[in-house]
Amino acid sequence: MNTQELGMPQRHPAWPARTGTHRGAPGPQGYGTRAPDGGNRTARAALVLGVVGLSTSVVFVGGLLGVVGLALGLGALRTARRTGVGRGRAVAGVVTSTLAIMASVAAAFLFVWYANQTQECYEPDSFRQYAQCVHDQFDGA
């Protein structure tokens, strides 16, 4: 008797054989199973640090997070090249971490430039005097 006579659907050769185990349970690796470690965790950490670093880059913390994220992302790329898991997240982590570093450096330069332009205005008696002084500095009066 074959499977057609029993009314059971035929198994396509590309479909995995059913082993009776649950997904992710120890057993043969096949279609629909994950890597034993759950993926490239270093790539995930690099992506998270890159995104958080990018969002906090204005307060200069993002640059530090970006440096750590960049190091993790480059390590994750090496791991992804070896295992084939997590390459997209690793690349996204490297890109967002690099952007976080660049944004922090740009914010630092802008902060120093602004401080240099308004250094005469740092001892006002009131906020109104400070605002007027800054306005005068940038208008060239």
Q: pLDDT-derived band of residue 118, with 50, 70 and 90 as boundaries?
A: confident
pLDDT tens, 45-77? 999 999 999 999 988 889 999 999 999 999 999
Residue-level pLDDT at 127: 83
Residue-level pLDDT at 99: 96
Is this model's pTM higher than 0.75 or not? no
Q: Report the C-alpha gap between 118 and 115 in whole angstroms.
A: 5
- CB atoms near residue 82 (< 10 Å): 8
Q: Report the C-alpha gap between 141 and 138 in whole angstroms.
A: 8
Contact 92, 47 (CB under 8 A): yes
Model confidence at 13: pLDDT above 80: no
Cβ density class 100-109: b for 16+ within 10 Å, e for less: bbebbeebee
Contact 136, 105 (CB under 8 A): no
Secondary structure of residue 137 in the 3-state scheme: helix
What's the average model confidence in pLDDT over 100-111?
94
pLDDT tens, 74-90? 999 999 999 989 999 99
